[in-house]
Amino acid sequence: MRYILASGSPRRKELLGKIIPEFEIIPAVSEEVMTRQLPSDIVEELSFQKASEIFNKTFTNEEEGLVVIGADTVVSYNHKILGKPSDRSDAASMVQMLSGKVHSVYTGVSIFWISGGEPRSITFSECTDVEVAEMSSDEIDWYVSSGECDDKAGAYGIQGLFARFITGIKGDYYNVMGLPVARLYKELKEQELL
C-alpha cells in the first residue's frame, strides 16, 4: 500500500504514525471552499476537498494500492466556527470566548482509495466537547504571547501549554489534536486498507 497524508500538520503526521508506520506527506494547496453551515458538514466538506485534490494529482490507473487521507478540524462555540486566528488579537478574542465554557471540536476525515480499478471514498466526522477553566486576562495574554495559538483552530493546542486550562473532555482526545485515531483505524480496517 502507498499511503499519503494530504496535510502538512505535524500533529496529524504524529497521530497517523500511530496507525500507519510509513506514509508520504503531500499537503493540499487548493483554496478551501465552504458551502455548508453545520460544523460537522464543514469539516467533512473540507477534508473531502483536500483528499480529493491529492488523490487526483497522484492517482494512476495501474496504482491499486493508493490510499489518500485528508482531514480538517474546526472549533465551534455558540454556533460560531473558530478557525485559525488571523493575528494575536484575534487569538486573544477566541481564547477569551472559550474561557470558562464548554466548546466542541469537530474533525472531518476523508479516505480515497482504489478498489477493483475504481476510485472509492468515505468521509466521516467526530465531535469532542472540551471544557476550559475560567482564565484571567493575564493568563490569556501569557498564552497568546507564547505563540502556541498561531495556526491552530480555536487558537489553542490541547497537547501544549493550554493543557493547564483544560478541565474536562468528552470524546476522543486525539480528535482535538486534529485526527480521530480510533475512528480512522476502524474505518481503514473495515475497508481492508490496513
Whether 123 and 156 have beta carbons less than 8 Å apart is answered as no
Ordered by where they begin, the domains of the chain are 2-190 (3.90.950.10)
Clarify whether 72 is annotated catalytic: yes
Structure-block grid coordinates of residue 156: 489553542
Has residue 146 got a pLDDT over 80? yes
Catalytic residue selected from 72, 87, 141, 151 = 72
pLDDT in tens, 69-98: 999 999 999 989 998 899 999 999 999 999
pLDDT in tens, 107-142: 999 999 988 878 999 999 999 999 999 999 999 999
Tell me how far apart the alpha carbons of residues 136 and 7 are, in angstroms, rounded to a whole number: 34
SS (H, E, C) 144-194: HHCCCCCCCHHHCCCCCHHHHHEEEEECCHHHHHCCCHHHHHHHHHHCCCC
The distance in angstroms from the start CA to the end CA of the chain is 8
This prediction's pTM: 0.92
Query: Is the model more confident about 37 or about 111?
Result: 111
Has residue 63 got a pLDDT over 70? no
Which whole number is the average pLDDT over 43-60? 94
Please, how many CA atoms are within 13 Å of residue 139, restricted to the half-sphere of its CB?
A: 15
Check residue 118 and give its pLDDT: 85
